[in-house]
Structure 1
Amino acid sequence: MIWVAVIVIAAILEGMSAQLISIWFVGGGIAGMIAQLCGAPVWLQVMIAAVVTLVLLLATRPLVKKFLQNKETHTNADRVVGQTAVVTEDIDNLAAHGRVEVLGNDWAARSTENVRIQKGTKVQVVRIEGVKLIVTPTVS
């Protein structure tokens, strides 16, 4: 009966968490319950449950962690990074103005250095900061 409680408590804790915290104890609890049903002494049940929990943790945690960490949300705006744009309004970081057109869309823009970039200049989009493109003049 103790193994059913371990399984249920671990499953409830896992369900209440956004992270993988106790799922491995469910597997260990199942292994301990199987050992109990086979008539193993309590010390052996605990050892089996602990070993199975540890093996599950070591075998699956790196994979699960990799999948959980790579949940970066890309937006349509990300596609402009690396693209060539045309300055439609002089870019002046000190005056906090400037605009470019890239892929048919108009964006606020700032330069990577504090240099003024004239209207009509071709620039390359380096990154996005908020709603502004950070650009650098292209080398002709």
Structure 2
Amino acid sequence: MSTIVDFAWIAWLVLMAVFLVIEMLTLDFTFLMLGIGGLAGLAADLLGAPIWLQVIIAAVVSALLIFLLRPPLLRRLRRGEDAAKTNVPALIGQPARVVETVTDSSGLVKLANGETWTARATSSPPLGPGEDVRVLRIDGATAFVHKIEEKKS
């Protein structure tokens, strides 16, 4: 047991190195906070704290950093991201026009972005060619659509 206590500083250094390498691969700030917690554990070891106290200090510092420092760091990191929806989320709610009759089992629609998709109707009556519809959801390569109600003036 005394060997573990005598060389705990090496374990803290290895643990910090592992956490920092994982952080470089994930860029999520979680393992950075754990690495800093490991630094606190190392500092406690160098100041002569018993191993159980070192672990508690490392855990408390890590938890505080994860809950208090990580969220603002993530917000700052992601501040410049493009907020525009892409891929499937961008298709939800998009208007389309029926190309081939759309029933609850088959059909084709042309989306406003020019793409043609297989479609299924979410309502009972079939939707005829030329009718305007809106995409409710996407399941695989199938758009589930419903008829756009005409506004009465």
Q: How does 1:59-138 map to 2 (within 5 A)?
A: 59-60=68-69, 75-93=86-104, 96-103=105-112, 104-138=114-148
Q: How does 1:45-64 map to 2 (within 5 A)?
A: 46=54, 48-60=57-69
Supply the AA of the counterpart residue of 1:58.
F
Aligned to 2:38: 29
How high is the TM-score relative to the length of structure 2?
0.62
C-alpha distance in structure 1 between counterparts of 2:65 and 2:96, whole Å: 51
Deviation at 1:139, TM superposition (A): 0.7
The C-alpha deviation readout for 1:23-55, integer Å capped at 9, x for no partner, is 544323322333444xx3324962644442332
Q: Name the SS for the 2:61 alignment partner.
A: helix
**Residues 14 and 20 of structure 1 are in contact (CA less than 8 Å); yes or no, is this contact kept in structure 2?**
no
Which residue identity lines up with residue 8 of structure 1 in the other structure?
V
Distance between the aligned counterparts of 1:49 and 1:111, measured in 2?
57
CA drift of 1:82 comes to 1.6
Q: Which has the higher strand share?
A: 1
Aligned CA distance change for structure 1 residues 41 and 13 (closer, same or farther; 3 Å): closer
Deviation of 1:125 (Å):
1.3
1:2 maps to: 8
Distance 2:94 2:58 in 1: 55
- Structure 1 unaligned runs (5+)? 68-73
Percentage of identical aligned residues: 30
- Structure 1 residue 110 displacement after superposition: 0.6
- Change over 3 Å in CA distance of 1:13–1:134 after alignment to 2: same
The TM-score with structure 1 as length reference comes to 0.67
2:48 aligns with: 41
What is residue 71 of structure 1 aligned with on the other side?
none
Check 1:120–1:11 CA distance in 2 against 1; reply closer, same or farther (3 A cut). same
For the aligned residue pairs, the C-alpha RMSD in angstroms reads 3.6
Trace 1:5-20 onto structure 2 (pairs within 5 A). 5-9=11-15, 11-12=17-18, 15=21
